[in-house]
Chains A and B, each alone.
Chain A
Amino acid sequence: MRYQLGRRAVLAVWAALIVVPLTVVVFGTFKTTAELFESPFSPPGSLTLGNYRAVLDGALGTAFVNSVLVTLASVALTLLLASLAAYACARIPGWVGWVVFGFLVLGMSVPAQANMVPQYVLFDSLGLLDSRLGLVLINVVVTLPVAVFILGGFMRTLPRDLYEASAIDGAGPWRTYRSIVMPLAMPSVAATAIFLFVIHWNELLYPLLFISSPEKRTIPLALLSFQGEYLTDYPLLFSGVVVASAPIVLVYVLLQRHFVAGMTAGAVKG
């Protein structure tokens, strides 16, 4: 009995720690700064959209479009390249497959700061700085290792007979990849896609390094630059937070189970 009471108390406190600040944020987007400071917990008096209009007309509107484009392209390209590599590495017999796989996966242990200086110089010399294409490219490169790792874990579970059967039916490797491997790999591809979506949508370091024109900023970068411009205009900052989080929260509510699978797939083997 005492255990049940303690259990409930701990869970209630933790739930409050999450629900209360988030509620204050959402309510705050409909308030003026004075109202927010006066009574942060009270529901908003009116549902005025002034703060949202202000952030969307300002930097965040363009940034939203940029983020959508960059994120979708990055996720799609990473998945394509990683699944091709993971499939081939699982299929190529002997040490060759393992060496290529191990080499690609090795990148997981290199922190972003370790190679950002030469990467910046390289992107500069190729004219890829301050471009959305450059952002897509660096996103793909940086997340390839973990994507290959997660997908490779799945590809190795596919039985060899499957490939043999498809070869007997006359399918080449491309056909096998497209019509057999990828459909079977869908659960692990979906988990990886969500994992990549969260990473790419929230990525800050590379936009910060690479992007100089305000009109090419992505959401996290535009949000960070708010901090300087609107030092304590919390209602405006909160509107930015809500706009930045909306797509990811929407997908989370729809696909909650896959999210958890995706965000932990990299940590647990297989």
Chain B
Amino acid sequence: MSRLRARGRRRASRIHPALYLFPLPALVLYVVFFAVPTLQAVQYSVTDWDGFSPDFANVGIANFRDALTDDDLFRNAATNNLKFMLVVVVLQTAFALLLALLLARNSRGGILLRALFFFPTILSSVSVAFIWKFVYDPNFGLGNRFLGAVGLDGLQSSYLGDDAAAIYWVALSQVWFHVGQMMVLFIAGLQAVPRELYEASAIDGAGRWAQFRHITWPMIAPATTIVVAYTTIQSFRAFDLILGLGGNPPRPSLDILSTRIYATFVNSEYGYAAAESLLFMLLIAAITVAQRQLLGLTRGSV
């Protein structure tokens, strides 16, 4: 009996060869349409190919040098992108944490509010852009109307029409768009904190702030790391929102890296667009690594 079972077990733990075929469809598509094109981008980036001409020249690192030193449009987009990222990361993380702290306990009203705050995340970015276009409309928009109603006429603004501030207004709509998603991540982190810690500290006479400072904050460090990393990546993917609010192609005051690369590509500068996109990728990678260092990524949190 046991010999039979041992034999069965041996046979069972052998892998059926057909199993090796299972990842093949995914692998083939992924290699042909994703991995190879990613490598080809490197190849394109050192050429001046316009997408049509059969012959094009190898220009070495000229594209990269131009993007970094000569190209005001690219530099403008990078600056805008960094401003946008900083504002979005700081505000979105802060508001998401605040809302999560207020809604971490499971009350019925709280669950309803969580669902409401999460809701904008599922909308398409173009829809969100149209909603905010109306809020920001200088003549008829909800923003100025509200300020007028509460007697703050002095704060009324032309919003996206104000070149210096436009990118920050888009940053606010981005926060509105995704803060609920980040709130949910924080709530998951908060609910994992053992209750006993709070009870014990309350006995020791710790106040609300002391509890937050010494228990909550350290315990949700992994969630914070995830939220900051996720929010950063999202701020580089704001492409749709920018096109919706800033036009296609967007005005220079609203141009970010993703829209700049797209515009270069549409302009048939294939080689140059590829070089820009590699710089884009390097920048994201560098920021991600820097964040991991700064936030002291806790092992196993991502």
Contacts and interface: CB of A to CB of B under 8 A. Distances in A.
Interface string B207-240: 0100000000000000000100010000011011
A111 B44 contact: no
Contacts of A224: 126, 243-244, 248
B89 interface: no
Interface in A107-138: 107, 109-122, 137-138
B164 interface: no
A264 interface: yes
A177 B33 CA distance: 26
A172 B18 CA distance: 8
B12 interface: yes
A220 B240 contact: yes
Contact of A88 (B13, B22, B281): B22
B188 A223 contact: no
Given A21-B135, A92-B15, A177 B176 contact: no
Contact of A119 (B33, B99, B240): B33
- What is the predominant secondary structure among interface residues of chain A facing chain B? helix
Interface stretch (A46-54, A185-193, A241-249): A241-249
Interface residues of B, number: 91
Interface string B231-258: 0000011011001100110000000011
B281 A268 contact: no
Contact of A40 (B20, B123, B142, B302): B142
A263 B121 contact: yes
Nearest to B180: A18
A115 B240 CA distance: 18
Nearest to A100: B23
Nearest to A96: B20
B80 interface: no
Contact of A140 (B29, B35, B114, B243): B29
8 contacts: A10-B98, A18-B176, A22-B131, A40-B145, A144-B30, A164-B13, A167-B11, A248-B122
Interface of B: 8-9, 11-13, 15-16, 18-20, 22-23, 25-27, 29-30, 32-38, 40-41, 44, 51, 98-99, 102-103, 113-127, 130-135, 137, 139-140, 142, 145, 176, 181, 184-185, 188, 208, 226, 230, 236-237, 239-240, 243-244, 247-248, 257-258, 261-262, 265, 270, 273-274, 277-278, 280-281, 284-285, 300-302
Given A110-B34, A110-B38, A241-B123, 19 more contacts: A3-B208, A15-B117, A19-B116, A25-B134, A93-B15, A111-B237, A111-B277, A112-B237, A114-B278, A115-B37, A138-B33, A142-B34, A164-B13, A173-B22, A208-B262, A237-B134, A245-B123, A263-B121, A269-B300
